[in-house]
Structure 1
Amino acid sequence: MIVETDIVPDSERRGLIGALPRTVRPYASLMRLDRPIGAWLLFWPCAWSVALAGMGSDGLALILWFGLGAFAMRSAGCVYNDIIDKDLDARVERTRLRPLASDRISLKGAWALLVGLSLIGLAVLLQLNLTAALVALGSLALVAAYPFMKRITWWPQVWLGLVFSWGALVGWPAVTGRFSGTALVLWAGSVFWVIGYDTIYALQDREDDALVGVKSSARRLGKHTRAGVAFFYSLAISLWGYEFWQLRSQWLVLLPLIPMALHLLWQVAALRLDDGTDALAKFRSNRFAGLLMFLACLVVGTT
């Protein structure tokens, strides 16, 4: 039974959502309106790619459109994920008060919200040139399959990496009108970045995941989680360094990448594996990491 005093991380009794009208709160919660970190993490690879492509004449406008698209599609992804995971979420302490899991929203209402958010995504898609739009559409199959991955593989974080990094493949053709191997390397580095930070995120749920049979990289790595995250972050930095070198073959081009590398090193070194609150804080710090990488791409792409 859900009572008014229940407060868990997915509660809507406080903060931004708590200030909204009662009838609106479950829908805002379903969209994770009070937790924009996911939208930031979806947005940054798009912005990196635009910056690395040199911004072009419409670079700022593209970044703003990508920001709106990231918000809409991350929200849509949360709604879709909760539709698929309705019964599973009800069995996990951290997610049991989600609107669908606690039956405060009907499936029909959730699907209606999903359609509305998808229409916003379509409006953003129509702002892109044909090449970029086609690349963006290529992510839909990956997005649709993601919620099922934690039931199939120990590495759903890899699938999330493929999805959340897709914007790196879209930003470059949005600026240049053509696809490039540069975007592919940027995307690959971002995939490993996502695997790293989502492994940190998964540390929060290891016990509950074990009870309900959900798989994750954090469970798979166990006591080697710190080394695993370090490995994935190292691959990300290496790929991005290689990409920068391919664009500007001089050692100075690697300097803008140092702040990002140091930040990821801090995450790994300071991570407390048995502290869910610390894991969440380290995960959220990747919003700042994304900004550091954007500045590095901007320097390399526009000089």
Structure 2
Amino acid sequence: MTKTAPLPDAAPANWVDRHAPAGLRPWLKLGRFDRPTGIWLLMLPGWQGVALACAMQGRWPDLRLLAEIFVGAALMRAAGCAYNDIVDRDIDAKVARTALRPIPAGQIRVRQAWAFVVGCSLVSLLILLTMGPLAIGLGVGSLALVAAYPFMKRITWWPQAWLGLTFNWGALLGYAAATHELSLPALLLYASGVFWTLGYDTIYAIQDLEDDALAGVKSSARRLGENAPRAILGFYAACVVLAVAAAWSGGLGLLFAPLVALYATHLWMQSHRVRIEQPVLALALFKSNTWAGLILFAALAAGAVRL
């Protein structure tokens, strides 16, 4: 089988370039299926919301809900990435890391990309319709955040904060799907996730500092400059404090504590190691947030145990 060159921020041995049929590769790359970290980072707040809701009721996370959130997150992340690429196609053509994406590279036309967005969104809607009226309303409401995100890098130095509002909406949706209501613990968990994303996406933006400056694209990494590591530590500190507040207000058990300490340590190590002059390290640290999110999910689930 003929292999294609992986995109710069994809793993060299990613499954799309190694195993997918040649005709499907541009479509899978359009949806970022060659870079699954984003699927995890969109999915995990939803899992955390379910875990928090169920732990407050003294039970383990609902496996059916976790599976639905996984599939829905994968599809909506694919739709969101394709939409982002449609909007950013002229900018992407000027940035080394993104110039070979399927739309700027001419592998997929804009009209075809729109069809991809609609198809993924419709399947996600079918999943959402199984989750109850409040969750459905939250899911539909998230579209406004998704639609605005690609334009944030043009108007604010803090598009990473808007991404935090968008990517962590699943915490509210997952909680609502499990309880059919919203309460203070869910809001605190959502706020925690916003700061988490602000931290890890600032790390991610370090890769594009030079290209973003040339293209006139704004980012928190550009705004913070040499102060980025200290700011990331502050974002992560706020994230941990809010996660603890969510667990405390929800009455979770003590088994939450050792795992959230591990979560805090993981985030501290990222902020300690990050360097703005090391973009390769920044990508590795960004990807490690899959594990960070899983640790917090485990901590929230463990909070169901009352000792």
Structural mapping, 1:248-287, within 5 Å: 248=251, 254-287=257-290
Matching residue within 297, 301, 307 for 1:298: 301
* Partner Cα distance (1:235, 1:297) in 2: 17
Output the CA distance in 1 between the equivalents of 2:297 and 2:5: 39
Paired AA for residue 165 in structure 1: N
How far is 1:20 from its partner? 2.2
Counterpart in the other structure of 1:108: 111
Closer/same/farther in 2, CA of residues 57 and 206 from structure 1, 3 Å limit: closer
Identity of aligned residues (%): 47
Pair 1:245–1:95, CA change in 2 (3 A): same
1:39 maps to 2:39 = yes
Conserved? CA contact 1:257–1:296, under 8 Å: yes
Between the aligned partners of 1:253 and 1:148, the Cα distance in structure 2 is: 38
- Bigger mean CA deviation after superposition, 104-113 or 161-170: 104-113
Residue 241 of structure 1: which of 220, 240, 244 is its match? Answer: 244
Call closer, same or farther: CA 1:103–1:11 in 2, change over 3 Å. farther
Identify which of 150, 163, 167 aligns with 1:164.
167
The whole-number CA distance in structure 1 between the counterparts of 2:209 and 2:61 is 44
* Amino acid in the other structure paired with 1:226: P
8 Å CA contact 2:99–2:105 kept in 1: the answer is yes
Normalised by the size of structure 2, how large is the TM-score? 0.92
1:72–1:302 Cα change, 3 Å: farther
Q: In 2, Cα distance between the equivalents of 1:99 and 1:12?
A: 17
The offset of 1:175, in angstroms, is 1.0
Q: 2:253·2:302 contact (CA, 8 Å) conserved in 1?
A: no
1:51-90 matches, cutoff 5 A: 51-54=51-54, 59-90=62-93
1:103-143 deviations in Å (ceiling 9; x for gaps): 11111111111111111211111110111111222111011
Q: Verify the 8 A CA contact 1:12 1:25 in the aligned structure 2.
A: no
Match of 1:149 in 2: 152
Amino acid at match of 1:256: L
Instruction: Encode CA deviations 1:207-254: one digit per residue, 9 max, x unaligned.
Output: 000000000000000000000100000000011111222223887753
What residue in structure 2 maps to residue 30 of structure 1? Answer: 30
Are the counterparts in 2 of residues 245 and 251 from structure 1 also a CA contact under 8 Å? no
**Hey, what's the Cα distance between the residues in 2 that align with 1:54 and 1:275?**
41
**Using a 3 Å threshold, how does the CA distance of structure 1 residues 42 and 11 change in structure 2: closer, same or farther?**
closer
Deviation, structure 1 residue 79: 0.3
Q: Among residues 179, 202, 216, which one is paired with 1:176 in the alignment?
A: 179
Q: Which runs of 5+ in 2 are unaligned?
A: none
Look up the match of 2:212: 209
Question: Deviation string for 1:23-77 (max 9, x for gaps)?
Answer: 2211111111111100100011100111111166981100000000010000000
Q: Residue 259 of structure 1 contacts residue 292 of structure 1 at CA under 8 Å; is this kept in 2?
A: yes
Q: Residue 226 of structure 2: SS of its match in structure 1? A: helix
Distance in 1, Cα, partners of 2:251 & 2:181: 20
Q: Distance in 1 between matches of 2:118 and 2:36?
A: 20
The answer as to 2:131 corresponding to 1:131 is no
One-letter amino acid matched to 2:176? P
Question: For 2:197 and 2:225, how far apart are their aligned partners in 1?
Answer: 18
CA distance in 1 between partners of 2:72 and 2:169 (Å): 12
- Relative to structure 2, which stretch is displaced further, 209-218 or 11-20? 11-20
Does the Cα contact within 8 Å between 1:54 and 1:301 map onto a contact in 2?
yes
In structure 2, relative to structure 1, the CA distance for the partners of 1:5 and 1:191 (3 Å cut) is closer
**Count of aligned pairs between the two proteins:** 300
Distance 1:13 1:232 in 2: 31
User: Which of 187-196 and 134-143 deviates more?
Assistant: 134-143
Question: Unmatched 5+ residue regions in structure 1?
Answer: none
What value does the CA root-mean-square deviation take over the aligned residues?
A: 2.1
